[in-house]
Amino acid sequence: MPDVSCKAWAVADAKTLRYLAWMRQEESRDIASTTKMMTALLSAQEIGKDATVLDEAITFSKRADDTSGSSTTIRAGESVSLRDAFFGLMLPSGNDASVALAEWYGMRKGAVEAKTDPLKFFVDAMNDEARRLGMMKTTFRNPHGITDPEHKSSCEDLVILANALMQYRFAAEVVGARGPQSSATGVAGKKREGDMEKYELR
């Protein structure tokens, strides 16, 4: 059995989803940044439909910039490619990128037409996808996992989510990447370059 400090955990075979070891895997608990697997999954689905979106410019809003627990150092008004935003999302802790991607997704999928906040639109989509995947002990309230009394999942559900995410080639490549380079472009066209793995743009 693994020697871990987690109060609940599960290890499963990636091909069969058969559990190899577990403890309290069925309990619904706070899930913190593992939330971002669903943010990544919804983004990866859009990339799977049209890979050209990887080069789209994602502009960080003040809301994204102000999101706590963020380390990609992208400022409000600056833009990065969706490719770089996805890398930033998967860093510890790309909470700002999660909001930027959520807003991008909401605007792309019809939040304006629905006259709703694109972030709320995205969170609704997260919960819809969770139901579709059979994640019955999961409720999302944001795209990053900052603690909310209703924002929970179980290890069983997270195994399902991780398996679904890894079906997308780009997502799998990002998870296995090391030291990606990135650049951010400001409103006036000024660029900052840096090593995203170190969470710094200069």
Q: CB burial class (10 A; 0-12, 13-18, 19+) of residue 96?
A: buried
The DSSP output letter for 136 is: T
Query: Contact, 67 vs 82, CB < 8 A?
Result: no
pLDDT tens for each residue of 37-49 = 999 999 999 999 9
Closest CA to 85 of 101, 66, 108: 101
* One-letter amino acid of 142: N
DSSP SS3 for 86: helix
Catalytic residues: 33, 36, 93
pLDDT tens for each residue of 40-74 = 999 999 999 999 999 999 999 999 999 988 766 78
Query: Which pLDDT band holds residue 195 (cuts at 50, 70, 90)?
Result: low
Q: What is the pTM of this model?
A: 0.90
